[in-house]
C-alpha cells in the first residue's frame, strides 16, 4: 500500500476469519460484519459532493444515522462504540470505487434530534496512551488534537478527491502528451487552490504528466481559453536535446486532449486569468 492514496474496492472487499469472508466496508455506511459484536467501519459514499459535513472550525465530522430510527441496530452499534471508546475505520469515498481510509475514528457525540453522530479522527501514535496527571486536562488535549487531525483528514480527502476526479475525467492520460502511466500523472490546478475550504472542482484542473505539470506551473507554456497551447518564446528559440523538442517545442499551437464530458472541461475564465499571468511572466 506504500505510496497509495486511495484504496480500491476489491482490496476492501475483505479478508477471512475462520473461513468466512469479512469485508472491511459494507454497502451500508455503518458496517458490522456478522462475526463482530460492534461496528468496525463507517463509510461516506461518493454520491453528491460532500454528503457528510466536516465542520472546519471544530474539526468534527457529522455522520448521519442509518435511516430515521435512532434505535436501528446499526445506530445502536455506533452508540455502543462511543460508550466503549472503540476505534473505527473511517472510509471516505472520493470517487466510484476509491476510498481514503483513516484510523482511528471515534464517535464523540450523538444527537437524536438531528439524527447524527459526531466523529473525530485521531493520531494512532497518541490515541491509545493512558492519560497522565489531571484527567480533565488530558481530555482537553485529546479534543484539541483530534480536532486538528480531523481537519487534516478533511484537507487530504479534498486533495485526493481532486486528483482522482481530474485524472479520471481525462481518462488517465496527460492532456498534452497522452502519457498513460498513472504514477506519472498529476492533477494540476489552473488557478492555485490555496483555500483549504475550496471544493475540488474538476474544471479548475487538468491531468498532466510530471514534466508538463512542472512546466505549466513554471509558465514554460500555457493553455489558452480556446484550449490551444502557447509555449513561451524563449523556450521556442532554445536549442537543446530531444526532450525539449518533443516535450515542449512541438506542443506549441496544439490543442489539448479534453475530457469526454463537456462539464469536466477546463473553465475558460480560469484559463483566461492564467493566460494573463503567463503574459506577465514571459
Ligand atoms: Zn505530458
* Successive 10-residue mean pLDDT values, the chain, 282 residues: 58 62 64 81 66 71 89 93 92 82 92 93 84 72 88 86 93 97 95 63 95 96 98 95 94 97 95 94 86
**What is the grid cell recorded at 113?**
434530534
Residue 174 confidence (pLDDT): 98
Q: CA-CA distance, 257 to 10, in Å (whole number)? A: 30
Rounded CA separation 53/43 (Å)? 13
Ligand 1 centroid from CA 192, angstroms = 19
Query: What is the 8-class DSSP label of residue 183?
Result: G
In this predicted structure, what is the pLDDT of residue 29?
A: 81
- The predicted model scores a pTM of 0.79
C-alpha cell at 243: 526532450
- Which residue's entry shows cell 509558465? 219
Distance 223 CA to ligand 1 centre (A): 13
**224 Cα–ligand 1 center, Å:** 17
Distance 211 CA to ligand 1 centre (A): 6
Amino acid at each position: 500500500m506504500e505510496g497509495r492514496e486511495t484504496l480500491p474496492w476489491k482490496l476492501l472487499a475483505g479478508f477471512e476469519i475462520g473461513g468466512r469472508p469479512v469485508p472491511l466496508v459494507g454497502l451500508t455506511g455503518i458496517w458490522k460484519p456478522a462475526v463482530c459484536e460492534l461496528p468496525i467501519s463507517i463509510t461516506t459514499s461518493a454520491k453528491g459532493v460532500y454528503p457528510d459535513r466536516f465542520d472546519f472550525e471544530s474539526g468534527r465530522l457529522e455522520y448521519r444515522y442509518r435511516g430515521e430510527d435512532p434505535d436501528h441496530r446499526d445506530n445502536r452499534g455506533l452508540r455502543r462504540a462511543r460508550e466503549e471508546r472503540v476505534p473505527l475505520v473511517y472510509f471516505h469515498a472520493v470517487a466510484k470505487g476509491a476510498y481514503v481510509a483513516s484510523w482511528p475514528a471515534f464517535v464523540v457525540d450523538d444527537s437524536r434530534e438531528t439524527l447524527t453522530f459526531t466523529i473525530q479522527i485521531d493520531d494512532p501514535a497518541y490515541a491509545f496512551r493512558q492519560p497522565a496527571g489531571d484527567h480533565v486536562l488530558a481530555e482537553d488535549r485529546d479534543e484539541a488534537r483530534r480536532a486538528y487531525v480531523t481537519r487534516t483528514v478533511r484537507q487530504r480527502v479534498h486533495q485526493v478527491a481532486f486528483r482522482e476526479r481530474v485524472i479520471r475525467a481525462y481518462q488517465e492520460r496527460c492532456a498534452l502528451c497522452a502519457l498513460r502511466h498513472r504514477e506519472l500523472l498529476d492533477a494540476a490546478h489552473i488557478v492555485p487552490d490555496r483555500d483549504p475550504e475550496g471544493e475540488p472542482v474538476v474544471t479548475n484542473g487538468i491531468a498532466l504528466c510530471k514534466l508538463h505539470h512542472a512546466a505549466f506551473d513554471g509558465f514554460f507554456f500555457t493553455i489558452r481559453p480556446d484550449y490551444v497551447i502557447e509555449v513561451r518564446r524563449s523556450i521556442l528559440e532554445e536549442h537543446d536535446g530531444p526532450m525539449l523538442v518533443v516535450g515542449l517545442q512541438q506542443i506549441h499551437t496544439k490543442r489539448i486532449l479534453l475530457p469526454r464530458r463537456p462539464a469536466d472541461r477546463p473553465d475558460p475564465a480560469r484559463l483566461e486569468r492564467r493566460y494573463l499571468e503567463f503574459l506577465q511572466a514571459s
